[in-house]
């Protein structure tokens, strides 16, 4: 294996990783040698996911720690548990997020707005704050957070979600600026329409399939595994001079935006 993508000895923490894109990214990191801690809200789902990855890689490299990203104390406990179980953290991928509301931004209840912004923006700031000391001490590290191509265009149904993901890119750029002198890289992953449970309302219908076949240059919707290579790239030495960027993984659907 090229050292450029070798993650042997690295400790990676991923949120929103019991299924879908997070699970695919965690699997890829473990396949490249990382010790991986995955997190989501339900411990039983995490245990099942960890067992699947460990069986696939033939080593016990992955374990799960339950956490609700809506609470700062739970994020800090997750980071502390990761540190005690696996060691100082080298890589973090914040993939957890929410979308509790579909419809006009003029009609969104305050509670849904606040939940969206806290889970999709503030929780990643909490996570960055919690893991940064490990990376600062080492003089290097990689943080990546899952934004969305929804950040790049307005939407009549997903407006606040898109706003939160654009704000997240703003957060990432500021973290990249502030943490860069410490050797820490911070980047955004911006998926298009990926066939996950989270996005099922958007893709599980004939109209979405038809739209994908006509409008996406690669003529298909994305799969969780399409995120795996980028996750490894951003975690590995291969991307050592890249920070503050927003990488789209969308089959070419927003290259004109």
Phi then psi dihedrals of residue 70, to 5 deg:
-75, -5
**What b/e sequence results for 153-171 when a residue is b if at least 16 CB atoms lie within 10 Å of its CB, and e otherwise?**
eeeeebbbbbbbbbbbbeb
- Exposed, middle or buried: residue 38 (CB in 10 Å: 0-12, 13-18, 19+)? buried
For 153, the 3-state DSSP assignment is: coil
Residue 153 lies in a domain: yes
pLDDT digits (tens, 9 = 90+) for 195-210: 766 555 655 677 877 7
What is the pTM for the complete model shown?
0.94
Mean pLDDT, the chain, integer: 94
CATH of the domain at 47: 3.40.50.720
In this structure, what DSSP letter does residue 227 have? G
- Give domain status of residue 257, yes or no: no
| Residue 254 domain flag | no
Burial of 238: CB neighbours in 10 Å, binned 0-12, 13-18, 19+? middle
Rounded Cα distance between 251 and 136, Å, is 35
101 is catalytic: no
pLDDT tens-digit readout, 59-108: 999 999 999 999 999 999 999 999 999 999 999 999 999 999 999 999 99
Instruction: Answer whether 145's CB lies under 8 Å from 101's CB.
Output: no
Note whether residue 83 is domain-resident: yes
Asked which of 4-13, 138-147, 187-196 is least confident by mean pLDDT, the reply is 187-196
Average pLDDT over residues 124-145: 98
Domain limits for position 117: 3-249
Q: For residue 200, what pLDDT is reported?
A: 58
220: confidence class by pLDDT, cuts 50, 70, 90? confident
The mean pLDDT of 181-203, rounded to a whole number, is 82
Domain-embedded: residue 8? yes
pLDDT for res 58: 95
CA distances 77 to 10, 116, 121, 194, Å, are: 20, 22, 19, 30
pLDDT at 212: 72
Within-domain flag for 18:
yes
Q: Quick count: other Cβ atoms within 10 Å of Cβ 240?
A: 12
In angstroms, the Cα distances linking 182 to 58, 133, 225 are 35, 10, 31
**What is the Cα–Cα distance from 135 to 13, expressed in whole angstroms?**
13
Given the residues 71, 101, 113, 161, select the one marked as catalytic: 161
Residue 29: pLDDT above 80?
A: yes
On whether residue 256 sits in a domain, the answer given is no
Polymer length of the chain: 257
3-state SS class at 148: coil
User: In this structure, what DSSP letter does residue 118 have?
Assistant: I
Structural domain count, the chain: 1
How far apart are the C-alpha atoms of 14 and 197, rounded to whole Å?
18
């Amino acid at each position: 294996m090229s050292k450029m993508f070798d993650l042997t000895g690295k400790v990676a923490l991923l949120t929103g990783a019991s299924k879908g894109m997070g699970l695919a990214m965690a699997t890829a990191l473990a396949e490249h040698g990382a010790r991986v801690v995955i997190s989501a809200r339900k411990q039983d789902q995490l245990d099942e996911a960890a067992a699947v990855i460990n069986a696939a890689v033939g080593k016990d490299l992955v374990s799960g720690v339950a956490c609700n990203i809506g609470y700062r104390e739970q994020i800090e406990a997750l980071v502390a548990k990761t540190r005690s179980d696996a060691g100082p953290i080298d890589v973090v991928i914040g993939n957890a997020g929410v979308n509790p509301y579909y419809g006009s931004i003029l009609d969104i209840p305050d509670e849904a707005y606040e939940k969206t912004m806290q889970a999709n923006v503030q929780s990643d700031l909490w996570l960055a704050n919690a893991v940064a000391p490990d990376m600062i001490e080492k003089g290097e590290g990689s943080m990546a957070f899952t934004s969305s191509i929804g950040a790049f265009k307005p939407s009549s149904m997903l407006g606040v979600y898109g706003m939160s993901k654009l704000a997240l890119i703003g957060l990432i750029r500021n973290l990249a600026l502030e943490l860069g002198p410490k050797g820490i890289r911070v980047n955004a992953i911006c998926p298009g329409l990926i066939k996950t449970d989270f996005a099922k309302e958007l893709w599980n219908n004939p109209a979405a399939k038809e739209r994908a076949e006509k409008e996406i240059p690669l003529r298909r919707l994305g799969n969780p595994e399409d995120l795996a290579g980028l996750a490894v790239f951003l975690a590995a030495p291969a991307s050592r001079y890249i920070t503050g960027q927003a990488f789209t993984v969308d089959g070419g659907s927003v290259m004109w935006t």
